[in-house]
Amino acid sequence: MSNPVTAILIGAGNRGMSTYGQYALNYSDKLQFIAVAEPLKSRREIFAKKHDLKEDKCYESWEDLLKEDRLAEVAVVCTQDQFHVDPTILALEKGYHVLLEKPMAHTLEGCMKIIKKVEQTGNVLGVGHVLRYTKFFSTIHDTIRDGRLGKVMNISLRENLGWYHMAHSYVRGNWRNVNLSSPMILAKCCHDLDLLYWMIGSLPAKISSFGHLIHFKQENAPNGAPDYCVEGCPVQETCLYYAPRIYIDILPIIQIMESSGRKGFKILAKLRKNHANFLSGLSKIIPLLKRLRFWSEWPVEPLYSGRPEEESGDYSDETKKQILETSPYGRCVYKCDNDVVDHQVVNIDFENGCTANLTMQGFSHLEGRTIRIDGTKATIIGEFLDSYQSLRFYDHITGNEEFLFKQALSTESVDHGGGDKLLIDAFIENVRLKSKSQPLTNAIASLESHIMAFAANDARLKNSVIIMEDYRNRMKHV
């Protein structure tokens, strides 16, 4: 592609910086950022340096950026959940095509405002439901459509949050509190609800849901536990959530490598876990090992966001420990202001007779999704994990088993199984076609998953079964 699609970035956080920004650096012939809006000065300056932006194209707020005449073809919106609607609508009005992070909005009203504006302007809008683009889930979708399963009767989908991810994002982090972000079933599981709707190909008829916040509460704090882990916690040797264990010892990354099934990763994991000092010296000789020894990626990256240490690039153990003394990510998990559930189930009866259940829980040993689909002719069982992916097909008549898809741990594992790149590729193609055709994960296609999430949250809170036809009728009055 000789002329890349030009874009502005609204929000240079983890997704904006590391996903969309990195894509533009890797594929400069496809995407080029020419302006950024980011309130944190250090993040703004880092993004500007990486993308060679002029000072007058770096804005503290999206309002200032969108006051300008249209600067590019595309606006990539990566603000926090509660701040998606206004910049998206104004960008569409300005003539930008928009690539919007999920969830589309944190309220049903916000979703409908965005959809109406897309319809008014005719501009392309893609929503970041990246899992539709993965080889894993697209294979499931195509196998169902090909009829190999017969009629699909039931799908059981599990969103297994690693214990560390739960603590990082939904207890200490940005999505811990409903009033600051959105209900967890929307923030984390609109992906999963979108997959169910897409794979089954039918509207949900009824939804019920149950879930609670049980573990991460003040009453479960160990005796004598301080507000911050590094203040001398009496159970630091045995507490799974001791902050240095996650951000300095990078136990989550080690566990992913250990469970990968790949000998090389297992050796490196053992080296990082048991011989960190030796690895420090070795990394001076083999620069590639420096990445493992002084880990700067997730979950460490948000720890540094907006701090001066981020710009200096100091990822030493000593600096991380100093940051944990005051960072929200250094807090005792039993003494945070979190109120989102730590486990929830959603039961769905679809109009075509298929039933499905989604389980979300934040106490898994491995991060990822597992799925079982039973049809009248065959069964699919899949594991979509950080450490590996496996998709097996069982034919009822022959009893034969076959692998539909299999992938070991790779660089794509941290890229939603390759979905991030493929989603951006598809969005750029939609923009380039000039026909203003909407991508696979457009606003209208993504709406149903959001409605399902809002309905599930209401069902949980009201202890009721939601009749979806009635629930959708509410949209007419939004």
Same domain, 457 and 471: yes
Same domain, 431 and 464: no
Residue that the structure tokens 């000072």 belong to: 55
The whole-number pLDDT of residue 1 equals 46
**Partners of 97 in the β-ladder:** 74
Tell if the pTM clears 0.75, that is, is over it. yes
Task: Measure Cα distances from 403 to 167, 315, 407, 418 in Å.
Answer: 34, 41, 11, 19
Same domain, 363 and 454: yes
Assigned domain for 17 exists: yes
DSSP letter for each residue of 255-314: HHHHTS--HHHHHHHHHHHH-HHHHHHHHHHSTHHHHHHT--STTTHHHHTTSHHHHHT-
Q: Which domain holds residue 153?
A: 132-216+338-420+446-477
Same domain, 184 and 110: no
What is the distance between the alpha carbons of residues 130 and 420, in angstroms, rounded to a whole number? 6
Same domain, 212 and 343: yes
**Domain count across the chain:** 2
Assigned domain for 364 exists: yes
CATH number at residue 102: 3.40.50.720
Residue 410's contacts (CB-CB under 8 Å, 6 or more residues apart) are none
Assigned domain for 407 exists: yes
Same domain, 23 and 36: yes
- Give, for all 478 residues of the chain, the pLDDT tens digit: 468 999 999 999 889 998 999 999 999 999 999 999 999 998 999 999 999 999 999 999 999 999 999 999 999 999 999 999 999 999 999 999 999 999 999 999 999 999 999 999 999 999 999 999 999 999 999 999 999 999 999 999 999 999 999 999 999 999 999 998 999 999 999 999 999 999 999 999 999 999 999 999 999 999 999 999 999 999 999 999 999 999 999 999 999 999 888 899 999 999 999 999 999 999 999 988 999 999 999 999 999 988 888 878 899 999 999 999 999 999 999 999 999 999 999 999 999 999 999 999 999 998 999 999 999 999 999 999 988 999 999 999 999 999 999 998 765 545 666 789 999 999 999 898 866 677 778 888 899 999 999 999 999 999 999 999 999 887 666 6
Residue type, 389: Q
Is residue 454 classed as helix, strand or coil in its secondary structure?
Answer: helix
Same domain, 115 and 142: no
